[in-house]
Amino acid sequence: MSVTILGIETSCDETSAAVIVDGVTVKSNIIASQVELHRKFGGVVPEVASRKHLELINHVVLEALQQAEITHKEIDAVAVTYGPGLVGALLVGVAAAKAMAYGLQLPLIGVNHIEGHIYANFLHRPHLEFPSLCLVASGGHSDLVLIERHGSYRLLGRTRDDAAGEAFDKVARALGLGYPGGPLIDKLAREGDPAAIAMPRAYLEEGSLDFSFSGLKSAVLNYLNRARQKGLKVDKADLAAGFQQAVVDVLVDKTVLAAQKHKVKTVMLAGGVAANSQLRRQLQGAARQHNMQVTYPPPVLCTDNAAMIACAGYYKYLRGDFAPLTLNAVPGLGLGADKY
């Protein structure tokens, strides 16, 4: 008998609802983006995001059900992101999911946002082998996660300051490219020479699997400031290429190191930065040298979306891992640290 999960995602600035059957069939995945709303600010304004979620959530859920051509009676459970993320934004999705679960007498499933990103890979490749390793790189996270089986995670490394996606956004803003910065830098970098402008790479202590991109970001800002003071013209394409190459080098090197340390042959990419073309190419090349398999979701599943939440929710449903109706938003939720 099939299992139909309604997923809800409102952790940051996308209001999303999706209907997934048996963890693989995407019947609908509605994403209402707030990019245009926040672009004029150069980044997400939490209060503005929360208010927009309130405005959109019911319409988005209804549209997801209509596109999936199902009714409320055909849903088996409601899965929702309850952390980490912006607390006001999370509360909107959690409140909506709790109301539906209570009103329809359905199981409520709380999903960690990072877990959702990981499971975007299982949406199109459900039979990935364990143990596997996932690099989750986004605006708020740069995590290396060892997945020993469904629902079992070990955090091997994480960012100590700016996440990779955050660094992309800040550098793009400094270059006057706009928001969100990742796709804009990726595009501009193709026109530049990554070796033209030397950029630092922070590998931290020997053997460390943690990340640090604040120094790299500062190096870009300092380069721009010195150029302005001297009246020199900056080749933005070269600078973008050098910055991107420095980020990708560290992400790839540490991912391969982690996979070797833990004898993992399946490596996954997840999160918004997973859509970066240079990261995909370079990680695939490095993995081939070590007989590793690399997989990543299509671009639409790299950014925040409810399909990945519903997919993660499906596997929690199979384990009977349900949340009480007292479920609350946990903005600093750690992976594997369910706080029901």
- Helix (H) / strand (E) element for 7: namely strand 4-9
Q: Average pLDDT in the 296-323 region?
A: 96
Please tell me the distance from the alpha carbon of residue 282 to that of residue 65, in angstroms, as a whole number.
39
Structure tokens at 233: 């013209």
**pLDDT band per the 50, 70, 90 thresholds, residue 139:** confident
Q: What is the pLDDT of residues 52-66, one digit of tens each?
A: 999 999 999 999 999
3-state secondary structure of 122: helix
Note whether 255 and 294 are within 8 A (CB): no
Q: What is the pLDDT of residues 203-227, one digit of tens each?
A: 999 999 999 999 999 999 999 999 9
Please tell me the distance from the alpha carbon of residue 86 to that of residue 47, in angstroms, as a whole number.
9
Global model pTM greater than 0.85: yes
Q: What is the pLDDT of residues 57-112, one digit of tens each?
A: 999 999 999 999 999 999 999 999 999 999 999 999 999 999 999 999 999 999 99
Is residue 312 predicted with pLDDT exceeding 80?
yes
Q: What is the pLDDT of residue 104?
A: 96
Is residue 41 predicted with pLDDT exceeding 90?
no
Is residue 326 predicted with pLDDT exceeding 70?
yes
DSSP, residue by residue, 183-219: HHHHHHHTTS-TTSS-------STT---B--HHHHHH
Domains and CATH numbers, the chain: 4-118+301-318 (3.30.420.40), 130-297 (3.30.420.40)
C-alpha atoms less than 13 angstroms from C-alpha of 29 in its C-beta half-sphere: 19
* Sole residue written with tokens 């991109």: 213
Note whether 11 and 53 are within 8 A (CB): no
In 265-300, which positions are buried (b, 16+ CB within 10 angstroms) versus exposed (e)? ebbbbbbbbbbbebbeebbbebbeeeebbbbbbeee
Q: What is the pLDDT of residues 246-285, one digit of tens each?
A: 999 999 999 999 999 999 999 999 999 999 999 999 999 9
